[in-house]
Structures are given as C-alpha cells and as structure tokens.
Amino acid sequence: MGGRLSSRVRAEPLTVREGPAVGNRRQESPNLILRRVRRLEPMGEFELRERDGLARIGRFPTPHGAVETPALLPVVHPDPARQPIPPSEIRRRFGLAAVITSAYITWRTPPLREIAESRGIHALLDFDGPVMTDSGAFQQHAYGQVEVSDAAIFSFQRRIGSDIATVLDVFTEPDAPQEVALRAIEETSLRAKQARSLHKGLLAVPVQGGLHAPLRFRSASEASEIGDVLAVGGVVPLMEQYRFADLARVLIAVRPGLSPGAAVHLFGTGHPMTFAFAALFGVDLFDSAAYLKFARRGALMFPDGTVPLQDVREAICRCALCEAVPLTEVARMSDEDRVVRVAEHNLLQCAQEVSLVRQAIRDATLWELAERRAASHPALQVGLRTAVRGVRTFLPTEPESRRSFRVVGPTSGLRPSVIRFLAQVERWKEGRGPYRDHPRVPLTPGGIGRTPTETRSGASLLWETQTAIGRVPLELTEIYPVGCYLGLEEFESRADRAESVASADGLDADLDRDYSKRWAERQLRATFEWVHGREGANEVLSRGLVGERSTRTGRLRGVVREGNRLFTIGNDGLPRPTWLGAELVHAARAFPAQRIIADSDAVPFVEEGRSLFSRFVKGGDSSLIPGSSALVVDESDRLLAVGRLVLAPPEMGRIPRAVAVRVVAHRRRPDGEPDPEAGGPESPVGPDGRDL
C-alpha cells in the first residue's frame, strides 16, 4: 500500500501529577497528562476532521481512495446477475464511494472465485472504489456454519485485493450464555492476531460478546490492539427484532474499549432511521443489504420509517427518482423493474440521510437529529432513552458548549450536556447558600437591576430560579445549556414572569435601589469560577477586569482592562481569551492549569497561528474537554497561542491525524475569537432580551 500506510500510534498509560480533589472540574490543580508514544506495526490512519461528541467526520485512506466518514457501505452481491443496481452506479448516481461484498460467497462460487483470483475483486464487481469484504460471519449466523476455515478465507481476501479484509469471527448470538460468548471472543481474538501477523493492509476485526458488557468491553479492547476497522458484530438480530435498547447497551459497553484512532463499523445498520442513533456512539461506517431486502418485499424506506408500496396513493416522496416515475406507477411495474426502482429509492434515502448526519455533526446538532428520528418508532425511543442512561459513555468527549440547545423530545433534558451542567452546578454551590427563589429574568440591567444582592444590614442575598432543566443560581443562567435554551417554555405565556422580586415578604432590603453594577460583578465572578474554579478565578479577577455589556441585548459580552478586551463572551456565556487574556491567565494560573503542551517540533508553527496536531501534544491539563479554551505552551511553559480543544485530553496522541487544539489567537493575531457584536447576521432575540 506504499505511501498510504503509516504507523499506528498508541499511548502508553498516563503519568499523572495529582492535585487536591476540589473545584468545579474535578481538581483545582489539574492533572498533567504525559504520554510516551511507541510505534506499532504499519496500519492505516483515521483522520478526524470535525466532531460532535463521539460522532465525527473523518477520512479513512484505502488503496482505492479515501472513505469519507460517516459512510454507508451498501452490501453488493458478487454475482452481477443478482445485484440489480451495479456497484459502479451506486458510486456514480448515489455518491456512495465504497461498498462491501461477501468474500465467502465469492469463494464458494467457482465462476466468481476464478474471476476474483485472476483479475481481483474490483474487476469482478466492476467497481474502482474501496471494497470491504466480509468473511462469512453472516452466513454463519444464518446457516449455523461455513464451509471454510478462517485462515483460508482470510488468505482468499488478500489474494483478491480486498481494501479492507475482515477476520472470520465466531458469531455470537445476542442471548448466548456467557461461557459461549467468552469462548467465541477468545477464538476471534486468536484469529485476529494470526491475521495481523500475515497482513499489513487494512484489517477489520469484529467485536463480539453477546449482551455481556464485560465481554464486549474486553473484545473491543483486544480488537483495538490489532484492527484498523473495529467492527461491532452480533447485532443484526437485535435490529431485526427492534431491540434498540439492547443495541444501546452493546454500544455503551464497547465504546470505552474502542480505540479513538480506528474507524468504527456497525454491521447491519441499514435503515436510515438508525444512522443518527448509531453515529451518537461514534460509529463511522454503516453497512447493510436492507435497501434491497426491503425492495424485494415492496417496502419503501424513509428516515422516519417504512411504507408499503402497495399502500401509496399520494406523491409522498419528491426525490428525483419519484419525480421522474411516481410511486403509484412504480407499483404497477413488473416485479423485476419494481424491485430495482424501489431499491434505488431506498438507496437514495439512505445516502441522503448519511449526508444529513454529516451536516448535523458539523452543526453540532446530532442529538437533535437523533431525537427526531427516534420519534419515528417507540422501540427507537426506548433505545435512545437507554443511551442517555449510559451518560458516562458520552461525557469524556461531550463538548463544553454548542451554539444552541433546542428541545426536541422527552430525552432532550437528559442529554449529556444537561447532566454535566447540573452536576457542575451542585459542585459550584458547595459552601454557598441559602438560596431564595426568584422568577426567571434576563441578566440585564433592566431585568435584574431591582433584585437586591444584599440586605440593609449588608448580608449577602443569593437567588436561584427554576429553569426548564432544573434549579440554577441566577448568575449562572446565561451559561450553556441554560443561556441558549430553546424549548416550549420560551413560547408559553410570559404574563406570570416578573421583572423583579415578586414578593418581598420578610426581606429587609432596599427594593428601590439599582443593583445592576453588583449583579455585573457577581455574574463576572460566577462565570470565571465556572471555568477556573474559585482559587483560579481569584487569581484572574485580581487583575482589575471589568465586564462589558452588549449595547443591543444588555448581556455580558466581553471583559476588558484599561480599554483592552481580554475576553469575549458568546452565546454560551463562557469567557474566551484573546491573546491579552491568554497572557493574563498564563500569569495568574499555575502550570499546568488551562494548558496543552506542544512538542518542540510544532512550536514554530503554533506561534504562527497553525493548529496543534494530536501527534505533537506532550501533555496538559486533564480537566479540559472538547471546546474548552486552552493555552498552548512549550515544554518550558512559554505561551505560544490560545485555542479551543477539538480532542479530549485522553484522545491526544491516540488519533495522530487530528487537530488537538484549533488556534484562535497568537502574538501576531491577538484579537482572538470574533466579537459577537461585530458583523454577521443578527441573532434572533426573545422578548426578554435573551438570544434565541
């Protein structure tokens, strides 16, 4: 494979410097992550380009071109006579760049075998893009056994030029006893190691284990040591039986064991309503023959379900295919023509849904898309509910914020971002209180100015309000997800929403006084404590910082000192440092707080504003999460730049072809992230002055 291959990088166990277990993000004195990187055998490298939590847009190179992920690999029959849509048409007309076919069927069919061995699998399929081959595990599931050894079928895949060869695993039924599942993963792991020793090309290693979570995790961890593609198997029966809750449990179990540097494949994910659900768990590759199987029984696939062709009386689909030949006419075609036309429709729906999933990842709205798709079937809703119960699976890569938080369904309030926010609120409130109830009001001079911050005797008054996701101190209500929350509550009657304290019974405070300045100070401190902890906020705020409000909305939009902007505050309510702000944080916070350490080879590039790539990260603050602002420093703690994390610290060094920190400001471009008040379209503003 020549230049298309490079060495896989795997991180050694972390060396951590402990700090006291206090503060808002696990520790006031952050851990220092140190990794020694060692090279293993040559393999393909997955390139991460965009992400939304575990979901990612990536690029996976193969000998016949790169696969852009998430991607659907339609299952194609190796016999052209049994494949109604030619593979070349799948690529040209439907934009699906890769396919998967059965090496086992090819091997056991002499005419196909002869062509594949003499001319290659690509010639047999008449397809010049990437081809992944399955080894017979599905036939093992369907018929109980296969007529070939694992060594023989793997050797065959190598001879026919498969781009991604798959180890013949021991298929494990979901409800198999634990001892049966254990023997299966032990045998599969042995076969994978033998295959790896013989094959330097791209290798797909199945992950089995039935419904036994410890075995699934073990299988995923062992596969990660060997494979370029980690293929979660044994799940087709779950999808056929609409057991999406069990599918979620399988994915929750395997996800922590899967290497972030490998592509993740989910066997049999063929219905478009499941793509967003699978992508939430970081699945990069889908495959299925469902587009054709459904067509043969006259079923039309849509992202929100399945419709029998025979029931169609109206123009329910306006895709290019159905515009050219309406579905009511398709129903009157001959059996052969009808199957082809419905299969094409199904494939087009699948291709379009993959594009929607990719766009949702770019827009950081994948949870919203998954919730909309889950509404199409009760079983999928149960699956999503099971997924959010496994929130620990998602938290390590859950971004610090998104542009908005829109409510879609009953699981919206259980998203990882909400769970983490409420947990951090409870930590933030430790040692404070008691809190008084207050109506929800905007943190603007007109909205909060008449709410007292102290009694006449000077005692501090603390207020919290009931938000749609829980009780939150008033000074934190502009932080994501509360600050940019968009749900039913935003459009209900506001007649009962007071603009000041509705009842002053028992409150010895001056209700005629303007407390706007005190609230600005309180909000500024709360915001910095949220990010830096109390001790860190004290250090930063002791440098004479002043909040700056938007002239349009009245919201806190910046932090200045002596007329110079040091921090910009966007719709997520979090302070993002400019270069001047980064210099202040660097001076105020002790090493390694808020830092990511760059290798000396990357220093000249980072200083010029180039992003820091994963392979050049030497260590850093383990409390940071994707989306966090971070100081990029060299090994002597010299400040190079400030940026936003793309990867979680545990992923750095494990995905070599990925940006770890996207630089936003450096000495030569000190302004940092765009001023939310300057340029661009206006953000919609609600009646209470909060951005929608």
Q: DSSP letter at 651?
A: G
Q: Are β-strands 462-467 and 470-473 bridged in parallel, bridged antiparallel, or unpaired?
A: antiparallel
Q: How does the average pLDDT of the chain come out, rounded? A: 89
Q: What's 353-417 look like in SS3?
A: HHHHHHHHHHHCCHHHHHHHHHCCCHHHHHHHHHHHHCHHHHHHHCCCCCCCEECCCCCHHHCHH
Q: Would you give the end-to-end CA distance of the chain in angstroms?
A: 51
User: What is the DSSP code string of 532-550?
Assistant: HHHHHHHHHHTTT-EEEE-
Cα(73)–Cα(342) distance, integer angstroms? 18
- Give residue-wise pLDDT tens across range 637-674: 999 999 999 999 999 999 989 999 999 999 878 776 65
Give yes or no for residue 298 having a pLDDT over 60: yes
For residue 272, cis peptide bond before it (omega within 30 degrees of 0): no
Count of residues making up the chain: 692
- The residues, ordered by sequence, that sit 6+ positions from 659 with a Cβ below 8 Å of its Cβ are 48, 611, 612, 613, 614, 646, 647
Give yes or no for residue 501 having a pLDDT over 70: no
Residue with tokens 């393909």: 44
Catalytic residue among 79, 126, 128, 134: 134
Q: With b meaning 16 or more CB within 10 Å and e meaning fewer, what string describes 415-430?
A: bbbbbbbbeebeebbe
How many other C-beta atoms lie within 10 A of the C-beta of residue 383? Answer: 24
Give yes or no for residue 32 having a pLDDT over 70: no
Both tokens assigned to 3:
């230049």
Give yes or no for residue 287 having a pLDDT over 60: yes
Q: How confident is the model at residue 2 (pLDDT cuts 50, 70, 90)?
A: very low
Asked whether 567 and 584 are in contact (CB, 8 A), the reply is: no
Q: How confident is the model at residue 491 (pLDDT cuts 50, 70, 90)?
A: confident
Across residues 25-52, what is the average pLDDT? 56
At 504 the pLDDT is 56
What sections of 488-634 are H helices per DSSP?
Answer: 516-541, 579-588, 603-607
- The CA radius of gyration of the chain, in Å to the nearest whole number, is 28
Query: Residue 161 half-sphere exposure, CB side, CA atoms within 13 Å?
Result: 18
Give yes or no for residue 50 having a pLDDT over 80: yes
Burial zone of 76 (CB within 10 Å; 0-12 exposed, 13-18 middle, 19+ buried)? buried
Cα(36)–Cα(13) distance, integer angstroms? 8
Sheet containing strand 546-549, strands side by side: 546-549, 556-561, 564-569, 575-577
Burial zone of 600 (CB within 10 Å; 0-12 exposed, 13-18 middle, 19+ buried)? exposed
Asked whether 556 and 548 are in contact (CB, 8 A), the reply is: yes
At 505 the pLDDT is 61
Cα(611)–Cα(631) distance, integer angstroms? 12
Residue of 46, 47, 12, 2 whose CA lies nearest to 229:
46
Give yes or no for residue 241 having a pLDDT over 70: yes
Of residues 499 and 607, which shows the higher confidence score? 607
- Give residue-wise pLDDT tens across range 150-179: 999 999 999 999 999 999 999 999 999 999
- Give residue-wise pLDDT tens across range 6-19: 333 333 333 333 33
228 tagged catalytic: no
Cα(487)–Cα(569) distance, integer angstroms? 23
What's this model's pTM, rounded to 2 decimal places? 0.90
Asked whether 309 and 330 are in contact (CB, 8 A), the reply is: yes
Cα(213)–Cα(603) distance, integer angstroms? 43
Across residues 216-230, what is the average pLDDT? 97
Query: What is the phi/psi pair of residue 75, to 5°?
Result: -75, 125
Q: What percent of the chain has pLDDT over 90?
A: 80
Cα(239)–Cα(637) distance, integer angstroms? 51
Cα(441)–Cα(261) distance, integer angstroms? 45
At 142 the pLDDT is 76
- Dihedral class, residue 65 (left if φ above 0, else alpha if ψ from -120 to 50, else beta): left
At 242 the pLDDT is 95
